[in-house]
Amino acid sequence: MATDIEIAALIGRVALRDRAGLAALYAAVSPKLFSVCLRILKDRADAEDALQEIFVKIWQRADRFAASGASPLGWLVAVARNQAIDLMRARKPVADSIDETWDIADAALDPETTTVLKGEGKRIDRCMEELESERASAVRSAYVEGLSYQELADRHGVPLNTVRTWLRRSLLKLRECLDR
């Protein structure tokens, strides 16, 4: 694995549209980025597709690296992680609400289990109503729709750490409510 200084230099070359720099960057970091994709997607073909898209994004966005202030490998891993998550979201349908996630019928479930699950869904809904509407919306968006913290911050117009705090405190309140 190349050092951070070497990787940063290669990203700088890519920002200048140096194709040889992109090839060298690929050789240096593609195994690591591929493993990130494979861990998230759990499918080799999807991970290979994601890796190709990652390097297209790196080619397009390398000039943004210097402004990010991140470590070079950390920045590349974040690009890879986000691309893999985007691909995963694109391939599975998203429920519009928590209610819909509990309405999924499973023929293998007996009536007692079905009743228990519906009761749990109602308990979660009741506890969600105890949260402030903006916090409840953030929880639903994060855990039902699968939005990232950054997407939530952009949607609500608040800093990233505020979203993290909202979600952490909301989950603690939900746990407290469900334990009653």
d(CA 33, CA 98): 33
Q: What is the pLDDT along the chain (180 residues), one digit of tens a residue?
A: 678 889 889 989 999 999 999 999 999 999 999 999 999 888 899 999 999 999 999 999 888 886 556 788 888 998 999 999 888 887 765 555 555 555 555 555 667 776 766 777 788 888 888 888 888 888 888 877 778 888 888 888 889 898 889 889 988 888 888 887
Residue 66 pLDDT: 66
The domain limits of the chain are 4-91, 98-179
**Which CATH number describes the domain made up of 4-91?**
1.10.1740.10
Taking the domain 98-179, which CATH number applies? 1.10.10.10
Fold matches, 4-91 and 98-179: no
Taking the C-alpha atoms of residue 140 and residue 19, their distance in angstroms, rounded to an integer, is: 43
